[in-house]
Structure 1
Amino acid sequence: MTGYADDLALAHLLADRADAIATARFRALDLRVEAKPDLTPVSDADTAVEREIRALLAEHRPADGLLGEEYGAQSSANPNGRRWIIDPIDGTKNFVRGVPIWATLIALYDGDLPAVGVVSAPALGRRWWASAGAGAYAGPGPAAGERIGVSAVRGVADASFCYSSLNGWEEAGRLDAVLDLMRDSWRSRAYGDFYGYMLLAEGALDVMAEPELSVWDVAALVPILTEAGGTVTDLAGQPAPAGAPGTDSSVVATNGVLHADILARLDRPAAR
């Protein structure tokens, strides 16, 4: 048991309720989808899941702060600034097209400490979770989880490199560096969203990198990756963010051994 065991148990409860709501709406013929101001899609499942999580946190952790993708932030009454960070459905574009790679992301940050992370992907029948100092686990649910860890791959030539898309890297001016990394790697695949990071935590791949993510896309991943033995930073090598809305950041996650090499490779400026 750890100091965050009760919080982790609550996060599993939140994930159970989220799974029930989202699964009922997945591939529903009457699913409602709208465009947000940034032109990304939001479904009625996204909003319903976040409303349910907010209601449960108001009941069980009323003093904690909360940041959710769909309904924004509320401040923390705790002196150390404990707050939950929620992405009700990560992979909404997959969700609305009937692709089963989507998940609810639930994180608790205790000040700057990534204390709890739960990633629940019910259409895949899999969940990943961790709490600070207690290791990372995966399985159908908390009653049937196995401890997970990153790979021991030591060289890029033996590494499996994962990314989300090439368009973002082109916009970031680093497409040439990414293409070279793909060529130098043993294998490259674009699993995207949460899934590549969780495969990294399980040791199934070795590097996952994206040029721009929002806080709610990252927060739940960090405790799982770090407790699995991985390293997560931005492209400058700074800790992965858990800041306010609008503080989008690059994310580079590795098995730790490869991290310095990957950062150096991705830091190469675009060819002129």
Structure 2
Amino acid sequence: MTEPRTFTLRDDLKLALELADAADAISRARFTALDLVVTTKPDRTPVTDADQAVERAIRTVLAEQRPGDGILGEEFGTAGSTSRQWIIDPIDGTAGFMRGIPIWATLIALAVDGVPVVGVVSAPALGKRWWASAGAGAWSSDERTPNASPTRLAVSGVDTLAEASISYGSLQQWDQAGHLDEIVSLSRQVWRTRAYGDMWSYMLLAEGHLDMAGEFDLQPYDMAALAPIVQEAGGVFTSIDGKPGPWHGSALATNGLLHDATLAVLNPA
């Protein structure tokens, strides 16, 4: 009997990057397409034919290359139940994708025993890609410099809220979550606030350009790929109330130096 093959994180990251290549070929071709098909899901969020096509393509490759692994995808749910689970958001930022805004990406993660250990964020309309695997650092590439070596990412060294630049998602989310007063309080204590949106806030954090990013109303597939990149860049990724991992409906990512201070403001006694 043939023994099941074991895969290293290097193997899994290589596959995740190949999945991102396949996803980019589909999503790039559908971005700003005049015949883009948009429908509304039961939760009243939009989905395009590109979202569905990307996830189908990824699932097809995973079925061939990692048949024993589980999958959690935004569009087609959960398949399989093992200690290894691929977590997919085919297009993070669908609303912007529909409107021709380039801040969207395919998010691909591998979680082992519930802990994301591989993450890839591929944003073809921006010409950028970010990736990480546990213990191997976080990296990015830019299509504007195609022959350059990947850049290793590192979070900022800002260590006081008064000097921090933050991205908060949207005021509506904080208001609906009952935390509007807290984000306003935080905004009064930091240097600069912006709402860059979706995955880009967290990648700017991993690159050292922002010091905190956070938002509510999230699913695991919105966060799983982000966490390894932030953490391998030296940052910390939890929920707004400090729980680790992408399973708690919200995200708070910081450069680490500001995490406790930010949690204290957002979770007053």
Residue number in structure 2 paired with 1:139: 141
- Residue 169 of structure 1, aligned match among 156, 163, 174: 174
Q: Secondary structure at the match of 1:27?
A: coil
Residue number in structure 2 paired with 1:82: 84
- Residue 123 of structure 2, aligned match among 121, 124, 129: 121
2:49 equivalent to 1:73: no
Residue number in structure 2 paired with 1:98: 100
Residue number in structure 1 paired with 2:257: 257
Shift of 1:25: 0.3
2:197 equivalent to 1:192: yes
Whether the aligned pair in 1 keeps the contact of 2:115 and 2:245 (CA below 8 Å) is: no
Instruction: Give, in whole Å, the separation in 1 of the partners of 2:31 and 2:114.
Output: 35
Shift of 1:261: 0.5
Residue number in structure 2 paired with 1:232: 237
Q: Secondary structure at the match of 2:257?
A: coil
Give 1:32-71 correspondences, 5 Å limit. Answer: 32-71=37-76
2:208 equivalent to 1:203: yes
Instruction: Give, in whole Å, the separation in 2 of the partners of 1:93 and 1:211.
Output: 17
Unmatched 5+ residue regions in structure 1?
Answer: 243-247
- Residue 30 of structure 2, aligned match among 25, 36, 42: 25
Whether the aligned pair in 1 keeps the contact of 2:32 and 2:100 (CA below 8 Å) is: yes
Q: What is the TM-score when the length of structure 2 is the normalising length?
A: 0.93
Whether the aligned pair in 1 keeps the contact of 2:88 and 2:108 (CA below 8 Å) is: yes
Q: Secondary structure at the match of 2:125?
A: helix
Residue number in structure 2 paired with 1:245: none
For residues 159-187 of structure 1, the C-alpha deviation after alignment (integer angstroms, 9 at most, x for no partner) is: 00101100011111111110121122111
Amino acid at match of 1:253: A
Amino acid at match of 1:224: I
**Identity across the alignment (%):** 58
2:153 equivalent to 1:148: yes
Instruction: Give, in whole Å, the separation in 1 of the partners of 2:96 and 2:39.
Output: 14
Q: Secondary structure at the match of 2:57?
A: helix
Instruction: Give, in whole Å, the separation in 1 of the partners of 2:223 and 2:115.
Output: 14
Amino acid at match of 2:92: D
Amino acid at match of 2:111: Y
Instruction: Give, in whole Å, the separation in 2 of the partners of 1:97 and 1:212.
Output: 21
Shift of 1:145: 1.2
Shift of 1:120: 0.1
Shift of 1:204: 0.3
Instruction: Give, in whole Å, the separation in 2 of the partners of 1:252 and 1:102.
Output: 19
Shift of 1:113: 2.9
Aligned-residue CA RMSD (Å): 1.5
Amino acid at match of 2:268: R
Instruction: Give, in whole Å, the separation in 2 of the partners of 1:268 and 1:58.
Output: 46
Q: Secondary structure at the match of 1:257?
A: coil
Q: What is the TM-score when the length of structure 1 is the normalising length?
A: 0.92
Shift of 1:136: 0.2
Amino acid at match of 1:265: V
Whether the aligned pair in 2 keeps the contact of 1:161 and 1:187 (CA below 8 Å) is: yes
Q: Secondary structure at the match of 2:188?
A: helix
Number of matched pairs: 260
Residue number in structure 1 paired with 2:113: 111
Amino acid at match of 2:124: P
Residue number in structure 1 paired with 2:4: none
Instruction: Give, in whole Å, the separation in 2 of the partners of 1:250 and 1:43.
Output: 24
Residue number in structure 1 paired with 2:162: 157
